Amino acid sequence: MTPILELRNINYSYHTPEGETKALAGISFSLSPGEFTAVVGPSGCGKSTLLSLIAGLMRPESGEIFLDGAPLTENSSKIGYMLQHDHLFEWRSVYRNVVLGLEISGTLTAETRSEAEQLLEQYGLLPFARSRPSELSGGMRQRAALIRTLLLKPELLLLDEPFSALDYQTRLTVSDDIGQIIRSSGKTALLVTHDLSEAVSLSDRIVILSKRPASITRIVPITFALEKDTPLNRRNAPEFKNYFNEIWKELNHDE
């Protein structure tokens, strides 16, 4: 099976008047369709740099990135984003926020409008379609932001610390909720987070990066023997602590 995303020996350095900062050193990994992968590493190691390269915002110094078997191009419509801030516009209703991407890409049709309504209905937001974003809870706002992204039918979702603006309690329920929606959508997802618990509760695999310049220390497959494998159930399962400790040790060993 062709991986959705493949990184081959990626290197990247920043050049400033003060000198060169090597951020990424020989990063190679690939994502299979439907897989949920998290990337963790010490602060400042190069996680955002890696995401910017995958998003096509910067080019690697050397190495290659393939999306769906073809070299990555800028602004690929195959990539969707979920960021720390939901970027919902207060002057638009919830409905008009979720169709914004379709409007911008010129694909707002009777069919895609009906898809928007279906997703709003499926995820419990239809009664709020005419509301303003400020009338929604933090979790509902993230759902709306995710629906806006899913309507563009991306093949790969890049999640950049998507829950870090939320308080701890909200964060647990929202990551559970959003994690389940992403699973049920069958999308391939790449999550960058500094929150190890979040990575263990959400992903199928964790890519551990070393301190800067980031190289891959280890890739740990995550499996839970749960009847209902949800992020919240994982947090209460016995394997959770083992994975957490194993990866924590790996990260701190590096320091």
Instruction: Report the residue number, 14 or 224, with the smaller CB distance to ligand ADP.
Output: 14
- Amino acid type, 153: K
Q: In the complex, which residues of this chain contact ligand ADP (CB under 6 A)? A: 14, 16, 21, 23, 41, 43-49, 212
Question: DSSP letter string over 145-207?
Answer: HHHHHHTT--SEEEEESTTTTS-HHHHHHHHHHHHHHHHHHT-EEEEE-S-HHHHHHH-SEEE
Distance, CA of 162 to CA of 97 (rounded, Å): 18
Instruction: Report the residue number, 160 or 176, with the smaller CB distance to ligand ADP.
Output: 160
Closest approach of Cβ 44 to ligand ADP, in Å? 4
User: In this structure, what token pair is assigned to residue 24?
Assistant: 């990424």
Closest approach of Cβ 42 to ligand ADP, in Å? 7
Closest approach of Cβ 241 to ligand ADP, in Å? 25
Instruction: Report the residue number, 94 or 208, with the smaller CB distance to ligand ADP.
Output: 208
Closest approach of Cβ 191 to ligand ADP, in Å? 13
Q: How many CB atoms lie within 10 A of CB 187?
A: 21
Instruction: Report the residue number, 16 or 169, with the smaller CB distance to ligand ADP.
Output: 16
